[in-house]
Amino acid sequence: MRLTFLGTGSAMAVPDRAQTGLLLESDDRALLVDCGSGVLQRLSGTDVGYEGVSTVLLTHHHLDHVADLLPLLKARWLAGEEHLEVVGPAGTKSLLDGLLDVHDYLDGRVDLSVREIGPTEFSVAGFDVAATEMRHSMDCLAYRFAGDGNGDVVFSGDGEAAASTARFADGAAVLAHDCSFPDDVDVSNHPTPSLLGEALAGHDIGRVYLTHLYPHTRGRHEEMLDSVTARYDGDVRFASDGLRIEV
C-alpha cells in the first residue's frame, strides 16, 4: 500500500501546504481521503490523477476537508469519467445535495453515489476500513486501513488527542495525526504536541506523521517534535505535501 500526502495544511492557507487530502493506492485500487482546497491540483500531479480516483472518503464536513469535492466532480466529468462515489459520516448526502443545489449545472453530469457510515467496519474502493469517533467540533471519524500484510495505515482526521484514538492506532505501521498548533496555543478540538505525546505513550506504532498544520507551526517543528517525543518513545515526523510512503 502507498500513502501520498496531497495536502497537509489547514483552514488558514500557506503557500506550501494544500488543505487536507490523502491518497491511498494498492495494486489497481485508489482512494482519496478528504478533499480540501488545493487537493485536486495536487492529485493531478500524481500517476493516478483525478481520472483514476472514483471514490472519496470523508472524515467530516468542515470546509477545509470538502472544498474540492465539486471541482473534482467537474474535472472527472470534463475528462469523460462517468462515476463518483462519496462516503462519509451522517450528513454527507445533505452536504452533496446542498452543493449541487448551488451548482445545479453539475447535477447529473456524472453518476454520483453517496454512502453514509458510522464508527464501524466497512469496505470502500476495495479497501477494508475500520472507523472510530474523534472528539471534534462536529461529527468526525478516524479511519484504519488494513494493509496487505505489511501493516495498517491510520488517519485521525481532525480531533483532540485521545487514549481511545491511540488504542485504535496501536500496532499500525503508519499513523497520520492532526497536530495543528504548538503547545503555547490555547486550543480545543485539535491536539497540541504534548497532549498528543501523552495520548500515544505506551503504544506501538511504526511511524507517526504530524499533519493538519496551521501557520502557527512554521519554524517550530523541532520544538514540537521534542514535545511529542518527550512523552512518546517512537518515530515521529512532520508530513509535507507530496510525501509518499510505501507501507
Q: Which residues are known catalytic residues? A: 64
- Measured between alpha carbons, how far is 232 from 242 in angstroms, rounded to an integer? 26
Report CA-CA distances (Å) from 135 to 11, 147, 161, 163, 178: 18, 26, 8, 11, 12
- Distant-in-sequence, close-in-space partners of 240: CB < 8 Å, separation ≥ 6: 5, 8, 16, 17
- The answer to whether the CB of 10 falls within 8 A of the CB of 18 is no
- The answer to whether the CB of 10 falls within 8 A of the CB of 23 is no
Exposure string over 35-60, b if 16+ CB within 10 A, otherwise e: bbbbbbebbeebebebebbbbbbbbb
